[in-house]
């Protein structure tokens, strides 16, 4: 039995080297960017008109001129015009190139236009006003988005602007989620009195969607030979395996021995936590892969996350262990979310306690309100919570107002 | 010109009635649930063994018996067994039905087993221990998930458990996002000196993905006849239209007049905010649709969100107006996220100020650190921020420590 901290450390020492793939930029939301996005030109790429109005040469305004003859018009999307007479003005549109020989833009609201003359209604005017100077935001060649971040709509705009119609992202691992247990029937079946429907596998599929992993699912009955032959195939076919069930002390919990018989190296079994204690973690070829193996195209070693089958156990272990494993493998740094306990909690066993909480925001404070569930089998309680707070095993009393880390699965 | 509050009120008075559709449950993450999910049986559906171990009749333990003959084994997934001799015990597995004639489970850790006898190593034992009583979590017929919530992995597990292989969700509107502006070229083209690449349309597509809306995109040049003929088609084909650009005071900003010529009722143009002021909003048949029209299958009236074309303006208006419109139309209640300003800010114009911020969590406090951008054209600054805080137009000085609402686009 090891601690949550040791378990996590072991898992993070066994991340995979996901490779990169190039995909159409518009399909990249939620993926992990694996190249720096660099400005291909200055931002903005020219002295850009920032308001609809007229462009003048400020010198004339300074000398008291308020009436300007309109010499021409500079629409957005047209090549730069040149104003021949510096005493004139040009009508200019937002997004247009500033015409040559002008240096200041006055918006229409501050101008009166009558036939071909514009009269400025201002007493004072700053030189360079309403112009977005070339390169002011970013210089050509500067890094606009550093690699290793999760792409959102904000990044998509920048990626489009620099002309990257495809973009390099971390490949997602090919994964299968395997449920076990003879008591389980399919979702569309009507269970007998002693049966229940499969749900953990689908919960895990949905949790993995956050990372754009499209996992397959499978079910194996509590039969040693079945387990052995199916898992042999999965170890060859998939980059990572998640199991739910068959790792506890039951007579038919064959999974740990089957995995070890198949040569998977057990890195730990059982973690001092509740729920989720019987978690088993192992890896194929933990030490067997050299840099040269990798060069020669040898498959990554395959980690096996075997979670206990109680629904809350499976759920919290996916958040607490698989998420950090995936993030580190993909190169993403996860930020820790810290919340304020909203009620006194007491928990006696010397185990790290993952407590279900609802998050409320009060005056900018993240307050975690404990959700009263009925233990690790109470699937429905997940619906009432937003996440789990992690309460350390060294303490038994946790006071309202203290702060603890949150594993969140629902945002606002 | 109207206030942000009035603009939002108008938009929320013009929501659509999305209908429901039935989809495979495993595809429903991120969709809005439109039916109550009800317990088809008690949760748990039988007195469920919660630990691997032995089941006994507590009366015998009470009378000092510690050695129990093992009469049989009750695996998970098998019909309920009956223990014939109440003085015996049964081996029981987590998830199994509690055998008839037993009432208490003792985990293997507290038992010694030698051949067919189990010796209990406990001095005290609570009756009913380690049994998850039928119906303890939820009773048959109770509502496990109320409709109108966004489905996450937590809901998927419950939906699977009650046997709903398909689930009713809100339909998403059929939408098109239209960019305008002659200065724009496609992402895979190399712009001339006076041109830039299209980006807003793709940013909006990505922002709409949060709600599982798969929007189409289109680009129209600044040509009145083009605008007119294309928009006529779009109004017939789509449930809602988003525009970016052509709503300001420029000579070629034809969109408002074109929409009005096409019979779209303008509900407002220009909002007292920065960025995003020239926002135009209108609707077809605002008052023309009766309940009878609707019954006879008449199409919903079509709202038109015409955002100004500066990238930050488009972005913030989508968050501030389109998101609440969609949420209310689908029946979802959005929670307001309130954050603490992390630095003094001064903003003189009498406009609501949407300020870009980075969110940091300090001791459970959500702190908004202003991001210094270069105005509404500074696309790249979106990458450095997590959201916008909304600063009221009645104030000019905003002090560190004050709290304001956040429009967030990036979570942790």
Question: Which residues of B are less than 8 Å from A309 in CB distance?
Answer: 94-95
Model pLDDT for residues B216-269, shown as the tens digit of each residue: 999 999 899 999 999 999 998 999 999 999 998 888 899 999 999 999 999 999
Closest residue of A to B50, CA-based? A377
Residues of A in contact with B192 (CB under 8 A): 79
Residue A237, min C-alpha distance to chain B (Å): 23
Cα(A41)–Cα(A48) distance, integer angstroms:
14
Query: CATH 2.40.340.10 occupies which residues in chain A?
Result: 337-408
Judge residue A208's burial from the number of C-beta atoms within 10 Å of its C-beta, 0-12 exposed, 13-18 middle, 19 or more buried: buried
Cβ A199–B158 below 8 Å, yes or no?
yes
Residue A301's pLDDT band (boundaries 50, 70, 90)? confident
Q: Mean pLDDT throughout B324-353? A: 96
The one-character DSSP state at A396 is: S
Span B343-367, mean pLDDT?
A: 96
DSSP B251: T
How high is the pLDDT of residue A287? 47
Is the pLDDT at A186 greater than 90? The verdict is yes
**A4-19+171-330 CATH pick, 3.40.605.10, 3.40.50.12160, 3.40.980.10, 3.20.20.80:** 3.40.980.10
Query: Tokens at residue A32, please?
Result: 């992990």
The residue of chain B nearest to residue A217, with distances taken between CA atoms, is B26
Backbone φ/ψ region at A63: left (φ over 0), alpha (ψ -120 to 50), beta: alpha
Element (H, E) at B71: strand B67-74
Alpha carbon B282 to its chain centroid, in Å, reads 26
How far separated are the first and last CA of chain B, in Å rounded? 37
**Element at B114 (helix H, strand E):** strand B111-114
Dihedral sign for Cα atoms in the order A52, A53, A56, A59: negative
Mutation target for B interface from A163, A383, A384, A410: give the one with most B CBs within 10 A: A383
d(CA B358, CA B344): 14
Q: Which of A237, A412, A218, A281 is nearest to A13 (CA)?
A: A281
What's the pLDDT score for residue A214? 97
Q: Answer whether the bond into residue A307 is a cis peptide, omega within 30°.
A: no
Residue A290 is predicted with a pLDDT of: 53
Confidence of residue A203 (pLDDT cuts 50, 70, 90): very high
Residue pLDDT, tens place only, B261-285: 999 999 999 999 999 999 999 999 7
Sign of CA dihedral A59, A65, A67, A69: negative
CATH 3.90.105.10 residue ranges of chain A are 22-43+137-169
- Mean per-residue pLDDT, A207-213: 96
Are residues B202 and A26, on separate chains, in Cβ contact within 8 Å?
yes
Q: Is A344 helix (H, G, I), strand (E, B) or coil?
A: coil
CA distance A316 to A318: 5
Under the banding of pLDDT at 50, 70 and 90, the label for residue B287 is very low
d(CA B159, CA B35): 11
Is B55's pLDDT higher than 90?
yes
CA atoms of A198 and A276, how far apart (whole Å): 18
Question: How far is the alpha carbon of B18 from chain A, nearest alpha carbon, in Å?
Answer: 22
Burial class (CB in 10 A: 0-12, 13-18, 19+), A143: exposed
Summarize pLDDT for B294-312 with one digit per residue, the tens. Answer: 555 555 689 999 999 999 9
Contact at CB, A365 and B365, closer than 8 angstroms = yes
> A328 with A11: CB under 8 angstroms?
no
Q: Is A254 left (phi over 0), alpha (psi -120 to 50) or beta?
A: alpha
The backbone torsions φ and ψ at residue A102, rounded to the nearest 5 degrees and listed phi first, read -120, 160
Give the residue on A whose Cα is nearest the Cα of B99. Answer: A194
For B59, the enclosing helix (H) or strand (E) is helix B58-62
Average pLDDT along chain B: 93
- Strand, helix or coil for residue A231: helix
| CA–CA separation, A349 and A363 (whole Å) | 34
Asked: is B48-132 a CATH 3.30.420.40 domain? The reply is no
Distance from C-alpha of B60 to C-alpha of B136, rounded to nearest angstrom: 26
Angle, CA of B359, B362 and B364, to the nearest 5°? 100
- What are the tens digits of pLDDT across the range B135-154? 999 999 999 999 999 999 99
Residue B264 DSSP code: P
Q: Do A315 and B96 touch (CB under 8 A)?
A: no
Question: Which position has the token pair 């700053």?
Answer: A126
Q: Which helix (H) or strand (E) holds B329?
A: helix B323-330
Region(s) of chain A under CATH 2.170.190.11: 48-132
Selected for mutation to probe chain B from A41, A214, A250 (highest B CB count within 10 Å) is A250
Residue B280, classed as helix, strand or coil, is: strand
pLDDT of A289 higher than 70: no
Contact B252 A152 (CB under 8 A): no
Q: Write down the pLDDT at residue B378.
A: 85
8 A C-beta contact, residue B286 and residue B265: yes
Rounded to two decimals, the pTM is 0.93
Per-residue pLDDT at B199 exceeds 80: yes
Name the residue of chain B whose CA is nearest to A335's CA.
B412
Q: Does domain B4-19+174-330 have CATH number 3.20.20.370?
A: no
**Which part of chain B has CATH 3.90.105.10?**
22-43+137-170
- Closest-CA distance, B292 to chain A, in angstroms, reads 37
Cβ separation of B382 and A203 shorter than 8 Å? no
Q: How many CB atoms lie within 10 A of CB B100?
A: 13
Topology of the domain covering A337-408:
Beta-clip (2.40.340)
* Domain span(s) for CATH 3.40.980.10 in chain B: 4-19+174-330
Give dist(CA A362, CA B123) in Å, integer.
48
Among B50, B155, B206, whose Cβ lies nearest the Cβ of A153?
Answer: B206
Give the Cα-Cα-Cα angle A328, A331, A336 (nearest 5 degrees).
60
pLDDT band for position A375 (50/70/90)? confident
Facing A137 at nearest CB: one of B152, B251, B380:
B380
Higher pLDDT residue, B288 or A70?
A70
> Do you know the residue count of chain B?
412
Say what the ipTM of the complex is.
Answer: 0.92
Q: Is the dihedral of CA B95, B96, B97, B103 positive or negative?
A: negative
Residue pair A153/A336 in contact (Cβ under 8 Å)? The answer is no
In this complex, the residue of A41, A157, A253 whose CB is nearest that of residue B202 is A157
Question: Are B257 and B280 within 8 A, CB to CB?
Answer: no
Count other C-beta atoms under 10 Å from residue A64's C-beta: 6
How much is the pLDDT for A251? Answer: 85
Task: Please name the fold of domain B22-43+137-170.
Answer: Molybdopterin biosynthesis moea protein, domain 2 (3.90.105)
- The Cβ of residue B136 has, within 10 Å, a number of other Cβ atoms equal to 17
User: What is the pLDDT at residue A194?
Assistant: 92
Contact at CB, A157 and B200, closer than 8 angstroms: yes
CATH number (2.40.340.10, 3.40.50.300, 3.40.50.2000, 3.20.20.100) of B337-407 reads 2.40.340.10
Q: How far is B61 from chain A (nearest CA, A)?
A: 23
Q: Which of A161, A380, A385 lies closest to B43 in CB terms?
A: A380
Share of chain B above pLDDT 70, in %: 96
Give the mean model confidence (pLDDT) for residues B200-220: 97
Q: Which residues pair with B345 in a beta bridge?
A: B398
Average pLDDT, chain A: 93
CATH topology for the A22-43+137-169 domain: Molybdopterin biosynthesis moea protein, domain 2 (3.90.105)
CA torsion angle A128 A129 A130 A133 (round to 10):
30
- CB-CB: which of A207, A252, A382 is closest to B93? A252
Q: Could you tell me which residues are beta bridge partners of residue B36? A: none
Query: CA angle at residue B194 from B188 to B195, to 5 degrees?
Result: 25
């Amino acid at each position: 039995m090891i601690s949550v901290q040791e378990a996590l450390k072991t898992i993070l020492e066994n991340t995979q080297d996901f490779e990169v793939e190039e995909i159409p930029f518009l399909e990249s939301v939620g993926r992990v960017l694996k190249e720096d996005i660099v400005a291909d030109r200055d931002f903005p790429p020219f002295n850009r008109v920032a308001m609809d109005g007229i462009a003048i040469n400020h010198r004339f305004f300074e000398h008291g001129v308020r009436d300007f003859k309109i010499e021409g018009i500079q629409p957005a999307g047209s090549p730069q015009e040149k104003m021949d007479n510096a005493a004139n003005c040009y009508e200019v549109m937002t997004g247009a190139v500033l015409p040559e020989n002008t240096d200041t833009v006055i918006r229409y609201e501050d101008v009166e236009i009558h036939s071909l003359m514009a009269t400025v209604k201002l007493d004072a005017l700053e030189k360079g006003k309403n112009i977005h100077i070339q390169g002011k935001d970013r210089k050509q060649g500067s890094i606009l988005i550093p690699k290793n971040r999760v792409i959102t709509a904000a990044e998509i705009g920048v990626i489009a602007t620099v002309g990257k119609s495809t973009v390099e992202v971390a490949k997602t691992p090919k994964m299968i989620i395997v449920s076990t247990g003879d008591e389980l029937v399919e979702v569309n079946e009507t269970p007998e009195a002693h049966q229940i429907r499969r749900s953990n596998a689908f919960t895990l599929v949905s949790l993995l969607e956050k990372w754009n992993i499209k996992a397959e699912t499978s079910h194996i009955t509590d039969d040693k030979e079945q387990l052995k032959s199916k898992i042999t195939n999965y170890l060859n076919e998939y980059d990572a395996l998640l199991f739910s069930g068959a790792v506890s002390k039951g007579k038919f919990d064959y999974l740990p021995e089957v995995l070890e018989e198949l040569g998977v190296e057990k890195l730990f079994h059982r973690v001092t936590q509740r729920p989720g204690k019987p978690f088993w973690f192992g890896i194929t070829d933990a030490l067997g892969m050299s840099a040269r193996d990798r060069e020669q195209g040898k498959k990554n070693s395959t980690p096996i996350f075997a979670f206990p089958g109680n629904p809350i156990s499976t759920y919290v272990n996916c958040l607490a262990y698989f998420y950090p494993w995936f993030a580190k493998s993909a190169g993403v740094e996860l930020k820790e979310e810290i919340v304020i306990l909203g009620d006194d909690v007491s928990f006696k066993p010397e185990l790290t306690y993952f407590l279900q909480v609802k998050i409320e925001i009060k005056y900018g404070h993240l307050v975690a309100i404990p959700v009263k569930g009925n233990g690790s089998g109470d699937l429905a309680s997940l619906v009432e919570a937003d996440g789990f707070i992690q309460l350390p095993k060294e303490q038994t009393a946790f006071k309202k107002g203290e702060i603890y880390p949150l594993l969140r699965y629902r945002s606002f």
